[in-house]
Structure 1
Amino acid sequence: MSVFTENPVLYKEITTRFQLRRQSKANRIVIYCIVGLVIPLFYWFSLRAILYSQTGARDAFGMFLTVFETSLVVLLTPAMLASTITIEREKQTWNALLLSKLTHTEIVGGKFIGGLLPTLATLLVFFPLNIAAACVGTVTLAQFVLAHVLLLATTFFYGALGMFCSWACRRTQVATATAAGTVAFLVLGSPLALSLWQSVAGYNSYGRDATLSFMPLWSNPYYAMTELTMNQSNDIHPEVAVLLTLGSLVGAVLLLVAITRKLAHGPKEMSA
């Protein structure tokens, strides 16, 4: 048995999140409206903007990745995974899961991958539009690949962050609030720190070069994606996106390893 094959935890996460019959009637109506009406309209207006001009296509490429997809990852992923462990505790099935024949890696990996699938499935909706915008807007292959690798790395990190909050908290509401607060700090903290730094340093510190020298801002996924996809000049700094990608992947691995090592304590974890 492995994390990906014959893993009942992963199978349960997939069936719970994707089976429509498990959803309420109101949720099913919303899903049908999104699939049947919202997505076709979004494609219609987006393709008109992409095919209108080369500049419009490049702007659309940056808009899709920076505004829509990054926001989707930052806001949705932690909320989806903040309930992965707490809901098991609330149903009093967590101890039984720990005492099963499943390894801790299979438990953590199954819940993590299953929790990421709704976000990844939603991102697939944008992918054909990203390809069309990149082709018409003459986006380089390196920019296209790096932007999507950065998006996936951000998804993994914020998903691991939500799951870590789910492990650290006892209740789903507390875990969700903790994840949301942490996300707000990570996303809004660096721009606020930049504004404070610029105010202290004086007017001469304003400008793009001064912003690039403010290293804490490099941890902000919006800034890295904007620098990579929406900068119209040839002076693009891909190292911002590369460093954030590597940092996100390392951070996700460390958070998941911390959860897995804690689960290996067995009775101590169950009594926590």
Structure 2
Amino acid sequence: MLYLFQQILNGLHMSALYALLAFGYALTNGVVRRTNLAYGALFAFSGQTMILVAVFGWHVLWLTLPATVALGILAAFAYAALVGAILARSVFARLAIRTPNAIVVATHGVALMLMEIGRIASETRDFWLPPLLAWPVVFASQGDFRATLTVMQLINVGAILLVLISATIALERSRFGQRWRAVCDDPKAAAMCGVDVPAVFRHAVLAGGLAAALAGILTALHFGNVSFGTGLVFGLKILFVTAVGGYDSPPRAAAGAAIFGMAETLWSGYFPIEWRDAAVFLGLVALLVLRPGHEETRVAQP
């Protein structure tokens, strides 16, 4: 029983990361209404950027460990904001009007570019951060077995919960949330009612990119490494998970992703881990096939 409790604790951390990624993806997809293959790559790119800048700060600038980690976090958010702004203005905004289906191809190209930038910057090597706040916090014990989470895991879960709750409240009560829902429902009608559709479009894409960046940074802080190929698997998982939870509701997408993260962790604890991805993808495909309804596809025209 205590082993099950440990797996549930482990699942809380992965569930929080998946939930944050799904929330940001749904926020962007609500206005784009096309598959964004660059989202997972941006997640991995942000985590890797944080690590590479931290390594630079440590070995070249001779900063202290807290200072070099802080520098890496700032750089990761800055690069993620830059990529998000470029995607919103130069990719999504132009293609959504003319050839919206080309967004899939364009974002795939952006994903390959980000992966190659990360690979070249790291010289095809993996850099690792030292264990950060890895002290175990004991939740239960029996004999020599202890159910624990590290301090870093608890900070990650707490930070993600705070972000998700704040973002959900903002979507429900803020003027931006109202305009975002209007643009998601019908961008032309929203524009006729005085909504600045291009601004909502850009802000939604940027916010989604920053959510991916935060997830990448927190992943790097916990695991110590994010490679340039990590984003492919995470991106595919979030794409399927968000489709099951619903593209039109970021909170619902986050809840579905949290359930997925818990299921994935429990599989790893009780079944062969080499079959984990195959099993979860098969389950997601089955859920998509068995869904009673299908969402109407609309494209926001900024």
Bin the TM-score by the shorter chain: 0.3 to 0.5
Q: Relative CO higher for 1 or 2, CA cutoff 8 Å, sep ≥ 6?
A: 2
Work out which of the two has the higher radius of gyration on C-alpha atoms and give 1 or 2.
Answer: 1
Q: TM-score, normalised by structure 2?
A: 0.31
**Which of the pair is proportionally richer in helix?**
1
Higher relative strand content = 2
TM-score (norm 1): 0.33
